[in-house]
Amino acid sequence: MVAALPLYGALAQNADPIAPLPEGTAVSEPAPALVWQVPQAQALLNYIYNVSREGLAPADYDPDGLLRAIAGGDPMAMSAAATDRFNRLSSDLALGHVRGEARIDWHIVDRDLDETRQRQLLAYALGSNKLAEALDGLLPTHPQYGALKHALQVTPRSEIDKVNKIRLNMDRWRWLPRDLGQKYIIVNVPAFYATLVEDGTTRWKQRAVAGAIKTPTPQLTAMATGVILNPWWEVPRSIAPEVAGKPGYVAVKGKDGKVQRWRQPPGPSNALGQMKFVMPNEHAIYLHDTNARSRFNSQIRALSHGCVRTQNIHDLAAELGSDGGGEWTRARIDEVLASKKTVEAKFVTPVPVHIVYFSVAALNDGTIVAYNDLYKRDAKVIEALLDKKGLAPATPATRVASN
């Protein structure tokens, strides 16, 4: 198998395109409107004509309206039109074009752009006459995005389905923060792989088992602070009826004597295997070992209740647990596992875990591979991304507007 590039170096669709400021941020009086020069507005227009290179549709930014404003000769009207389009465009480049319900089961916050940063960026772009550079600086820098962009350029527009698959996955990269971390774990659900990346280099990559169709794994980011060795399994309420009263499960009762939940103690039958990652999040999703390791041999590994079963997770835990002078070497981990004691092994430095859903990715040789759209999430993204249902964006233009 050819290794993939490291994948691994929400507003409503019609809402205001500027990302909201964090809650509690003081908002000052509106600043004076920035005044554009004609060559600057023309540069923006040219950028819009060519934005299909990023998998976006020029029509979404009304280039004809901006062209009319330039030709109209009113500096303030032209500036207002240009600023409006700059705001929409910069928002889409930084945060993604598709918003709201089309981002199915998406729970990652991207703070790459807010109103303050957007205005600062515009002021810089106009003050330095580097509008294209300022906008390009919002784009994902991950090599996967660059590979998809190249694939989009060389794929014939007649191959509509392939073009759209590439476009929607480029937008998914824009949904993510540009900075995923100097060291991070990324789980691509459709590929069924978990990968540890450090300084843009893949350090560790293993097979994963993700959520079944009925219990899909959500897209989220959480900080892994350590692992629980010899863990108890807190049985989810959704499947508690399946285990209630069965041997090997312990009932937790309330003061009234009624069973409130079920737990499975550590041991060879424990569904979490010998360890689970501590990565707090509201969805109770985490990486863990398993007592059914033969499932890693399956080609389609959508089999869990939502959490991510991870092959050879002991090695990953040792890599992270011993990093930065941490005490949790593989030998120390094995010692605790053999003791049968439940112990939390904390990492010196927490590591972000990004659980994502890329149905198209690039291999090291640039080859584009498409994965099965397990949870049928692509259709809504395509529908939201297209200007006209089923049509690919036009080939980028090379003309520059003139007044």
Indicate whether 244 belongs to any domain: yes
* Domain extent at residue 318: 183-356
Q: How far apart are CA 123 and CA 35, in angstroms?
A: 10
DSSP assigned state of 36: P
Provide the pLDDT for residue 5: 52
Q: With 90 as the cut, is the pLDDT of residue 387 above it?
A: no
Sole residue written with tokens 């009234």 = 256
171-216 pLDDT, tens per residue? 999 999 999 999 999 999 999 999 999 999 999 999 999 999 999 9
Q: pTM for the full model? A: 0.86
Provide the pLDDT for residue 403: 28
H or E stretch covering 71: helix 63-72
Indicate whether 367 belongs to any domain: no
277 phi/psi in degrees, rounded to 5: -75, 145
Q: Give the pLDDT band (50/70/90) at residue 396.
A: very low
- Supply the CATH number for residue 243's domain: 2.40.440.10
Mean pLDDT on 111-126: 95
Q: Which of 349, 365, 362 lies closest to 142, judged by CA?
A: 362
Provide the pLDDT for residue 20: 40
Provide the pLDDT for residue 365: 81
Indicate whether 154 belongs to any domain: no
332-346 pLDDT, tens per residue? 999 999 999 999 999
Provide the pLDDT for residue 364: 76
Indicate whether 134 belongs to any domain: no
Q: With 60 as the cut, is the pLDDT of residue 153 above it?
A: yes
Q: Which active-site residues does the annotation give? A: 288, 307
DSSP assigned state of 58: G
Provide the pLDDT for residue 79: 97
Neighbours of 269 (CB within 10 A): 12
Q: With 70 as the cut, is the pLDDT of residue 21 above it?
A: no
Indicate whether 246 belongs to any domain: yes
Indicate whether 136 belongs to any domain: no
Mean pLDDT on 366-391: 85
Provide the pLDDT for residue 249: 84
Indicate whether 329 belongs to any domain: yes
The structural domain count of the chain equals 1
60-80 pLDDT, tens per residue? 999 999 999 999 999 999 999
Indicate whether 289 belongs to any domain: yes
Would you say 342 and 228 are in contact if contact means Cβ atoms under 8 Å apart?
yes
Structure tokens at 147: 């590979």
Provide the pLDDT for residue 397: 41
Q: How far apart are CA 197 and CA 282, in angstroms?
A: 25
Mean pLDDT on 123-148: 96
